[in-house]
Structure 1
Amino acid sequence: MTGQEISFRVDASLQIGTGHVMRCLTLADALKAAGASCRFICREHPGHLLGLIRQRGHAAIALPGPVANPSPGSREHPFQPAHAVWLGADGSTDAGQTRTILQGLVTDWLIVDHYALDARWESALKATYRKLMVIDDLADREHICDLLLDQNLVDGMANRYRGKVPGHCVCLVGPQYALLRPEFSALRPASLARRKTPSLNRLLIFMGGSDPDNETGKVLDGVRLSRKPWEHIDVVVGESYSALQTLKETLANFPSATLHIQTPDMAKLMAAADLAVTAGGSVTWEKCILGLPSLVVILGENQRPIATMMHQQGAQRTLGMASELTPACYAGYLERMAVGELPTMIDCASKVCDGAGVERVLKILDNEKRI
C-alpha cells in the first residue's frame, strides 16, 4: 500500500457511538504501517473522536457541527436511509462539504462507514476517488462500491447484498473480516489457554463508548443487588461518556472496581476477565477472539440480528433490549451464571473469529488497486 492515499468518511457521536470510528482507526493504523497515508473526514457531533484520530497520527478534517433539523430528501430522491438523522445534515449538503475537501486531493480509496450514506451520496463523490470501499452492517440500502465489508454474523449472509451492490463489487462478509486491533489476536493463545480452567472471579463491564442512557450504572446497580462476590470488576467507558461523575460516585461503593476511560488496554482487560457484561456491536468480535464468555444487552435494533445469532450459536447469552432490563434483571442473571456453563460459551465464541481480519482486508485492498 506504499504511497496510497486513503480517505475515510465516518462519524462518532453520542447517538452513533464510537464503534464505526474505532474500527476505521484499526484499519487506518494497519494501512499506515503498510505505507499508506490516511485522512478522516468527520462531522463535529457531540462525542466526536477527532482528537483521538489525530493522536493516532492521522489527518482529521472536521465538517461543521450538526444542523438541528436537516431538510428531508429532495423531490427527486424522497426516500432517505433509515439512519439519515445520524448524519447531522441532509445528504446533499454532506456530499457537497465532503467533495469540497477532497477536490484537488488524490484519493486512491474512499472508505465510507456510515449508516446514513448510500449510493446517491457515493455517486455525488464519484469524481473525487479512484475506488470506493463501504463498511456496512445493515444491508438496508444500495451502494456503488468496488469493495464491501460486512463483518457480521447473521442469517443469509451469502446473499445479503444481492441487488444492493454492482456486479463487480467484491463482498467480504463474516467475522473472518472483522477489523480488530492486533493486540487481540496477540493475546488469543494465552487467553484461551487460561480458560481451560474456567472461573468466575473477575467481571468486565463495557456498555459502549458513549453509553448515552448510562446502562453502565444500571449494570452496577445489578451487581450490587446480586449476592455474587467478585474479586475484581473492571468498568470501561469512552471519553464521550456523559455520566462520569455519577459513575465515580457509584464506584465508591465498589472497592474492588477499577474505572478505565478510553483505555488502550481493552485486550488485556478482556483476556483477564472471566465474564463480561457488554452491549452488542463490534465488541462482539473482540470477545470472540479471546474466548470471553459474556452477557449481552441490545442497545439498538441494528445489534439485534448479531446478538440473536450469537446466542443461538452458544457464543454468548443475550439478555434482550436494554430498555426492558432492570438492575434486578442483571442481578438475577449474574447470580444464576455458573462456572459449568462457561466451557461451551468459550469454545463457541473462540470459533467465530480468529482475529486475522485486518490482514485479509489489507491484502484484498492491495490486490484490488491493481485491477
Structure 2
Amino acid sequence: MKVFIRTDASTGIGTGHVMRCLVLAEELRKKNVSVTFVCRRLSGNLIEYIKSKSFTVISLPTPTNSNPDQDDENWLKLNWKTDVRQTINAIGKQPDKDWLIIDHYAIDKKWERTIKPMVKKLMVIDDLANRQHDCDLLLDQNLYRNLDKRYEKWIPSYTTTLLGPTYLLLRQEFRDIQYVEKKSDNVKRILISFGGSDPTNETMKAIKAIKLMNQPDIAVDIVIGFSNQNYSAIKKYCEDIPNIKIHYQIDYLAELMAKADLAIGAGGSTTWERCYVRLPAITIETATNQSEILSYLSEIGVICHLGLSKEVAEQDIANQLMHIINNPEMLKGMMDASKLMMRDFNESLVVDRLLEENNDD
C-alpha cells in the first residue's frame, strides 16, 4: 500500500500540519505502508526534518511569481492550478497511489477534484470547516460545539468523517508517557510553548509576564522551534533570569509537559497534547482557526483562555498566573476536565479506519 501526503510548513503557515502528518505517517509505516511527502520549498519549511525521520519527500519549487507581501497560503489559493499540476507531475509516475492525504488550509474541492482521478482514495485533514471538499475520508481531531453537524454542508454524503479528540494524531513521545497523578496543587513549574514558529512572538510576552510576577522559586521551561525567528532575542533576554531554561527544537516536549504544573501556549495540536497529559493551561489565540476551539474549551473548564494575541498584554498573563497560583483548586478543575474530554481516545483508530476504507474498495 502506498500513501502520499500533500502538506506544507513555513514561517507563516507554521509547523502544525507537517507535525500531525508525521504522526500519521509513523503509524502507517508500522503497518508496512509506504509514505511519501509532497511539500513546497517555502521559507521555514520542514523538508529536511521530514527526511531525518526517514521519509521520502518530493519537493515542489519555491514560488517565483509571488508578491512579497502575500503569505504562502494565499499564494496557493491564487495559484492552485499550478500547485495541483506540479503535484500531479510529482506523483504521476509512482505506481499504486492508494491514498493521497491532504493537510492544507489553501486546498479545497477544485484542487481535490483535479487530482482525484489519479488516486484510489483521498483523505483530508481539516479543522476550519470553511470550504468545500471532495474526499473519501475527512479527519478533524478538534472539539467544537455541534461537532457532528460541522461539516454537513462542506462534504459529499459519501464522505466518512472522523471527528473529535477520540481521533487525535498523538505523537509517540506522548503515548510513552506514564501519567502520574500530581500530589500537589501548587504551581512549581511552568511550561511556555507556542509551537514551531510563533510568528506573533507570544513567547517573549509570556517571559516578560514571568518577570513581572517575580516568583524566582518557580522553574520555567521555554520551548522554541527552529522556525522561530525570535530565538536569538529570546535567548539574550533570558540570560539574567536564573529560573528560566530554554529548550530549542526538542523531541522531549511530552516529558516537559508531564513535569509541568501549568502551561502557557496557543491552540493547535498542542492543545490536545496538553489535555492528554492533563496539563492545565493559560492560552492565547494566535490564529483565527483557534478561536472557536479555545473559547469552547474555556467554557467547559479545560483551559483559562485570555483571548486574541493582540489584545493580551504581559500584565494580563501575569495577573492570570497569580490568580491560578493563589487558587490551586483551579488546577485540579482543569486536570479533571481534560481527563474527561480524552476518555475515549484510541491511538490506532485513524490508521485502522484508513486501512479498512482501502480494503473495502
Moved more, 274-283 or 328-337: 328-337
Q: Gapped runs of 5+ residues in structure 1?
A: 71-81
Report the secondary structure of 1:370's partner residue: helix
Contact 1:10 1:40 in 2 (8 A): yes
Task: Give the CA deviation at 1:212.
Answer: 1.6
Q: Name the residue aligned to 1:93.
A: 82
Q: Gapped runs of 5+ residues in structure 2?
A: none
Report the secondary structure of 1:120's partner residue: helix
Return the alpha-carbon distance in structure 2 between the equivalents of residues 358 and 213 of structure 1: 32
Task: Give the CA deviation at 1:143.
Answer: 0.9
Q: 1:256 aligns with which of 243, 246, 251?
A: 243
Return the alpha-carbon distance in structure 2 between the equivalents of residues 83 and 345 of structure 1: 36
Q: Name the residue aligned to 2:133.
A: 143
Task: Give the CA deviation at 1:208.
Answer: 1.6
Moved more, 290-299 or 165-174: 165-174
How many pairs align?
354
Cα 1:241–1:365 change in 2 (3 A) is same
Task: Give the CA deviation at 1:265.
Answer: 0.1
Moved more, 252-261 or 133-142: 252-261
Contact 1:185 1:355 in 2 (8 A): no
Report the secondary structure of 2:179's partner residue: helix
TM-score, normalisation: structure 1: 0.91
**Which letter does structure 2 place at the counterpart of 1:146?**
D
Q: 2:352 aligns with which of 338, 363, 369?
A: 363
Return the alpha-carbon distance in structure 1 between the equivalents of residues 344 and 40 of structure 2: 30
Report the secondary structure of 2:133's partner residue: coil
Contact 2:13 2:72 in 1 (8 A): no
Task: Give the CA deviation at 1:348.
Answer: 0.2
Task: Give the CA deviation at 1:351.
Answer: 1.8
Report the secondary structure of 1:252's partner residue: helix
Q: 2:37 aligns with which of 36, 40, 48?
A: 40
Percent identity, aligned pairs only, is 38
1:69 corresponds to 2:66: yes
Q: 2:57 aligns with which of 46, 50, 60?
A: 60
TM-score, normalisation: structure 2: 0.94
Contact 1:16 1:86 in 2 (8 A): no
Contact 2:12 2:72 in 1 (8 A): no
Report the secondary structure of 2:154's partner residue: coil
1:114 corresponds to 2:104: yes
Q: Which aligned runs of 4 or more in structure 1 are off by greater than 6 angstroms? A: none
Return the alpha-carbon distance in structure 2 between the equivalents of residues 124 and 199 of structure 1: 55
1:233 corresponds to 2:223: no
Q: Name the residue aligned to 1:334.
A: 321
Q: Name the residue aligned to 2:113.
A: 123
**Which letter does structure 2 place at the counterpart of 1:301?**
T
Task: Render the CA deviation track for 1:190-229: whole Å, top value 9, x for unaligned.
Answer: 2xx1x25322000100112101221111110111011334
Task: Give the CA deviation at 1:300.
Answer: 1.2
Mapping of residues 158-237 of structure 1, within 5 Å: 158-190=148-180, 193=181, 195-237=182-224
Return the alpha-carbon distance in structure 1 between the equivalents of residues 277 and 251 of structure 2: 16
Task: Give the CA deviation at 1:335.
Answer: 1.6
Task: Render the CA deviation track for 1:212-258: whole Å, top value 9, x for unaligned.
Answer: 22111111011101133443111001111101110111110221222
Q: 2:301 aligns with which of 314, 324, 327?
A: 314
Return the alpha-carbon distance in structure 2 between the equivalents of residues 60 and 344 of structure 1: 43
Q: 1:11 aligns with which of 8, 15, 19?
A: 8
Cα 1:358–1:113 change in 2 (3 A) is farther
Q: Name the residue aligned to 2:255.
A: 268
Task: Give the CA deviation at 1:33.
Answer: 1.3
Task: Give the CA deviation at 1:68.
Answer: 5.1
Return the alpha-carbon distance in structure 2 between the equivalents of residues 162 and 355 of structure 1: 23
1:134 corresponds to 2:134: no
Mapping of residues 279-294 of structure 1, within 5 Å: 279-294=266-281
Return the alpha-carbon distance in structure 2 between the equivalents of residues 117 and 208 of structure 1: 22
Contact 2:66 2:75 in 1 (8 A): no
RMSD: 1.7
